[in-house]
Amino acid sequence: MSGNLLTQLLLNGLIVGTLYGVVAMCFVLIYKSTQVVNFAQGEFLLIGAWTCWWLVVEAGLPFWFSFPLTFVFMMVFGIALQMVVLRPLIGEPIISVIMVTIGMSLFFQSITKWIFGADVQPFPEIFPVKAVDVFGLQVQPAYLMSLVVSVLVMIGFAWFFKYSRMGLAMRATAFNQQVAQSLGISVKNVFAMAWAISAMVSALAGVVVGMVNGVSGALSFFGIKVFPAVIVGGLDSIIGAIVGGLIIGLLENFAEYVDGQWLHLGNLYTVAPFYVLIIILMIKPYGLFGTHKIERV
Amino acid sequence: MAEPALKLAPEEPLLSVNNIEVVYDDVILVLRGVSLEVPKGKVVTLLGPNGAGKSTTLKAISGLLATEDGEVTRGSITFEGEEIANKNPEDIVRRGIFQVMEGRRIVEDMTCLENLRLGAFTRRDGGAAIRNDIDMVYNYFPRLKERTGMAGYLSGGEQQMLAIGRALMARPKMILLDEPSMGLSPLLVKEVFGIIEQLCHDLGITILLVEQNARMALKVADFGYIMESGKIMLDGAKEDLINNEDVKEFYLGGDKERKSFKNLKSYKRRKRWL
Ligand SMILES: Nc1ncnc2c1ncn2[C@@H]1O[C@H](COP(=O)(O)OP(=O)(O)O)[C@@H](O)[C@H]1O
Ligand SMILES: [Mg+2]
């Protein structure tokens, strides 16, 4: 029985871990291509989820229409944020930029609370709630959908950075902005694009979580979970972000199991990832996948 | 779309730099009235010691100066008869000028193929044409095809070949090459210069070549300029420069110690009628 509980929790860990991975990828995307540490990453989930919720519940639009509309809105939002708030900060000290993104985070949290209130608002039911049986485990269809969406997003990212023209341009910009410009790449466009993609994909994650847990300010906690994920994986590695997200998701659930079975400390699982984070950083200061400069001999 | 009618009178050079002054950080005056011309289809070399302002001249042409807080504060640069001074680098790449920066500057965490595809970033003529050109580059540099790992692990010579190949991928009208021989073994220098000559011949690409290795550069160039302390000190056709006593002594001579033109009386005499 407890073996079954463990597998169930690990499955949950896998599902939530891939979501963390997706959000962590969005964070790394911004960090890598624009060197901005975005403390407002979690708020992108929040804004995306509220936008979609509003379109469905308040504006009464069908979900299949609201969902892409949310994307368009988030794309415009990401570009506007980059152009209006972050572009003027190019060349300013890192600490100033960090202060600004922390400010953005607080601002978006308050303004969504002001507009939508502090209560949890459920999404109208889009998927059946009845759990389905997968290899003897009970899984909610919404969770399955979340897993599928996350994996699709990851494949999409991989394709984008490996094969698309703009993806290559973003990697070149991340490598060196002057080199990118010498190739005819507009660094300004790349920056705006990084924010747009990051905002859109985070919103996707926000909607997915909102459908499972309801929409509320708690969504921005995802932004906090992303830090251990990206630091474990290495701040500048997309693969690291995915692996880091998975590790954090699994750890949380494993810690919950250990706590429930033996320790009974309660809520240990929310902090466990941070302990692991400290240990990993002591062993590998650049994270598991963080890059060192290529040295030729 | 048909090619626009020839914007250029036949005798007008493809690129002309007219008496430019370049300032970094608003205060550091580096180029003090530099003029040079590059005729279509020719290889022109810009020679001079370290710190003379050669790279700065190239960056002024390619617009990359702005990325280092530099600016052309006087004079003009015209390409195909149009003013391009202080335009942004994307615009200049699209006009057909591609700079291969000093130190190759390939994207180290990408493969050769990805670097080549990046070179084609500004092109709009579709995948088939680009794949075709990748094959062409591999024809010029067969050893790049065998390298499948990250470009950062290539040897210096291979990186230089990749940097030149990447420039070709943009289908430029003109390439600005900054010290391609730097850090390469004499044998590799020979190979790279052979390819440069071939490119100019096969593809009709105009080249402005910056070098410290004057001997190699003058072998492939049609025309040369010699620069010191932000000024052009001497110019002439390849044969004139090779046979010039001062150039012989200070740039081509076997003696390791290279003195400056400035300390030279005969040079000062010549300067008057330059
Ligand atoms: N980004 C920069 N900011 C300030 N000064 C610079 C910069 N780049 C080059 N310089 C100065 O301009 C002069 C010419 O440099 P450069 O054009 O690189 O010479 P070269 O390529 O002939 O060796 C040098 O004195 C150098 O210190
Ligand atoms: Mg130089």
What confidence tier does B251 reach under pLDDT thresholds 50, 70, 90? confident
Report the gap between the CA of B210 and the closest CA in chain A (Å): 17
Residue A294 contacts B, CB cutoff 8 Å = yes
Residue of A nearest to B150 (CA): A294
What confidence tier does B255 reach under pLDDT thresholds 50, 70, 90? very low
- Nearest neighbour of B64 by CB, restricted to A175, A181, A294: A181
The residues near B261 (Cβ < 8 Å, ≥ 6 apart) are: B226, B228, B233, B234, B246, B250, B267
- Would you give the distance in Å from CA A62 to the centre of its chain? 26
Per-residue pLDDT for B9 more than 90? Answer: no
Domain count, chain B: 1
The rounded percent of chain B whose pLDDT value lies above 70 is 88
Q: Which of B107, B153, B171 to mutate to test the interface with A (most CBs of A within 10 A)?
A: B107
Quick check: CB of B160 below 6 Å from ligand 1? no
Ligand nearest to the CA of B70: 1
Ligand nearest to the CA of B52: 1
Residue B63 placed within a domain: yes
Say if CB A104 and CB A43 are below 8 A apart. yes
Residue of B nearest to A165 (CA): B121
Per-residue pLDDT for B2 more than 50? Answer: no
Residue A108 confidence (pLDDT)? 95
Q: What CATH number is attached to the domain comprising B204?
A: 3.40.50.300
A267 or B36: which leads in pLDDT: B36
Range A30-47 burial, b when 16+ CB lie within 10 A, else e? bbbbbebbbbbbbbbbbb
Residue of B nearest to A186 (CA): B90
Query: What CA–CA distances, in Å, run from A258 to A5, A55, B242?
Result: 11, 41, 82
The residues near A123 (Cβ < 8 Å, ≥ 6 apart) are: A53, A56, A57, A210, A211, A214, A215
B54 or B8: which leads in pLDDT: B54
The rounded percent of chain B whose pLDDT value lies above 90 is 66
A220 or B175: which leads in pLDDT: B175
Residue A8 confidence (pLDDT)? 82
Residue A83 confidence (pLDDT)? 94
Residue A292 confidence (pLDDT)? 60
Q: Any idea what DSSP says for residue B150?
A: B
How is the beta sheet containing B28-38 ordered, strand by strand?
B28-38, B15-24, B70-79, B82-83
Name the residue type at position A160: F
Ligand nearest to the CA of B49: 1
Residue A294 confidence (pLDDT)? 55
Residue B263 confidence (pLDDT)? 54
Low-confidence ranges of chain A (pLDDT < 70): 1-3, 127-129, 266-269, 290-297
The H-or-E segment that residue B189 falls in is helix B186-203
Q: Which of A197, A206, A200, A172 is nearest to A186 (CA)?
A: A172
- Nearest neighbour of B122 by CB, restricted to A171, A176, A184: A184
Interface list for chain B against chain A, based on CB atoms closer than 8 Å: 62, 64, 67-68, 88-90, 93-94, 98-99, 101, 105, 107-110, 114, 117-119, 121-122, 150, 152-153, 155, 166, 170
Q: Which of A161, A170, A183, A237 to mutate to test the interface with B (most CBs of B within 10 A)?
A: A183
Residue B88 placed within a domain: yes
Residue closest by Cα to atom 4 of ligand 1:
B24
User: A165 and B117 in contact by Cβ < 8 A?
Assistant: yes
Contacts of A184 in chain B (CB under 8 A): 89-90, 93-94, 121-122, 170
B83 or B8: which leads in pLDDT: B83
What is the 3-state secondary structure of chain A? CHHHHHHHHHHHHHHHHHHHHHHHHHHHHHHHHHCCCCCCHHHHHHHHHHHHHHHHHHCCCCHHHHHHHHHHHHHHHHHHHHHHHHHHHCCCCHHHHHHHHHHHHHHHHHHHHHHHCCCCECCCCCCCCCCEEECCEEECHHHHHHHHHHHHHHHHHHHHHHHCHHHHHHHHHHHCHHHHHHCCCCHHHHHHHHHHHHHHHHHHHHHHHHHHHCECHHHHHHHHHHHHHHHHHCCCCHHHHHHHHHHHHHHHHHHHHHHHHHHCCCCHHHHHHHHHHHHHHHHCCCCCCCCCCCCCC
Per-residue pLDDT for B50 more than 50? Answer: yes
How is the beta sheet containing B223-228 ordered, strand by strand?
B97-100, B174-178, B206-211, B43-47, B223-228, B231-237
Provide the token pair at B158. Answer: 């291979």
Q: What is the mean pLDDT of residues B39-66?
A: 95
Residue with tokens 């998975």: A246
Ligand 1, atom nearest to B57 Cα: 17
Substitution site in B32, B56, B62, B181 for ligand 1 pocket (most atoms within 8 Å of beta carbon):
B56
- Nearest neighbour of B94 by CB, restricted to A169, A184, A294: A184
Substitution site in B28, B45, B65, B226 for ligand 1 pocket (most atoms within 8 Å of beta carbon):
B28
Residue B8 confidence (pLDDT)? 55
- Nearest neighbour of A168 by CB, restricted to B98, B99, B118: B118
Q: B35 by DSSP, 3-state: which?
A: strand
Residue closest by Cα to atom 21 of ligand 1:
B55
Quick check: CB of B206 below 6 Å from ligand 1? no
Which of A187-191, A283-287, B172-176, B218-222 is predicted least confidently? A283-287
Residue B167 placed within a domain: no
Residue with tokens 């891939």: A18
Quick check: CB of B204 below 6 Å from ligand 1? no
Residue B37 placed within a domain: yes
Q: What is the mean pLDDT of residues B135-141?
A: 93
Quick check: CB of B29 below 6 Å from ligand 1? no
Residue B85: which domain range?
15-106+172-263
